[in-house]
Structure 1
Amino acid sequence: MTYEEFKNQNNFDVNLRYSLNEVAILAPSLDTFGGYDPVVTISKAEPFNYHPRDYRDMMLDLDDWQEAVKLAQKLALTPLSERGKVINHDWIKNAQKALRGILGRG
């Protein structure tokens, strides 16, 4: 499975976060501040390395959690060289935030 295929699942709405070393499937958190927590993280540097989190800590039912873990396992079992490239948009968001701070707008 490539990162692009992973991102574009038809039967599961995948909310992803890319970082330098991992991809995370996110779900709404149950904490009082809202936000999103990782359901499962998949290493982009080490093959076969993924870590599911406890589904009871987020607003996700068991079936969706199992589907997310299944997708993560499928991606983790794909060799790193066959996953394709990921465009990391986080640096753009951070640059925009820093620029707004410099300009006094945020």
Structure 2
Amino acid sequence: MTYEELKKKGFDVNLHYSINEVAILATSLDTFGSVEPIVTISKVEPFNYHPRDYRDTALELEDWQEAVKLAQELAMTPLDKRGGTIDYDWVKMAKRALQLILGRG
């Protein structure tokens, strides 16, 4: 499985959760509607993923189990076969915002 395939599985996936991790997110039950990681997958260590408690999120048990299964599948994929994690749309938006801030847009 690649990072892009994981994104297309219907979950909220943050490829830039941290320098070394990808996260599958779910909406939190707090009053602010933030998101919480339910599974994190290492981008630098093979076979390394960490399911987290989903009970403080709006996610159902079956959906959490599916997310863990997908995370395991990605973790079992060799690092060099997962593809890149650069979000080019994010880079384009950041460049455009910087141009607007500098008055060149």
Alignment of 1:43-62 (within 5 A): 43-62=42-61
Structure 1's consecutive aligned runs of 4 or more residues displaced over 2 angstroms after TM superposition are 88-96
User: Taking structure 1 as reference, are residues 39 and 93 closer, same or farther at Cα in structure 2, changes over 3 Å only?
Assistant: farther
What's the secondary structure of 2:6's corresponding residue? helix
**Equivalent residues, number:** 100
TM-score by length of 1: 0.79
User: Residue 16 of structure 1: which of 13, 16, 19 is its match?
Assistant: 13
Q: What's 1:71 paired with?
A: 70
Matches of 1:42 and 1:50 in 2, distance apart? 4
Matches within 5 A, 1:73-88: 73-88=72-87
TM-score by length of 2: 0.79
Provide structure 1 residue ranges, at least 5 long, that are not aligned to the other structure. none
CA RMSD of aligned residues (A): 2.5
Matched, 1:7 2:29: no
Identity of aligned residues (%): 67
State the 1:74 CA deviation. 0.3
Distance 1:33 1:94, change over 3 A: farther
Partners of 2:81 and 2:61 lie apart in 1 by 30
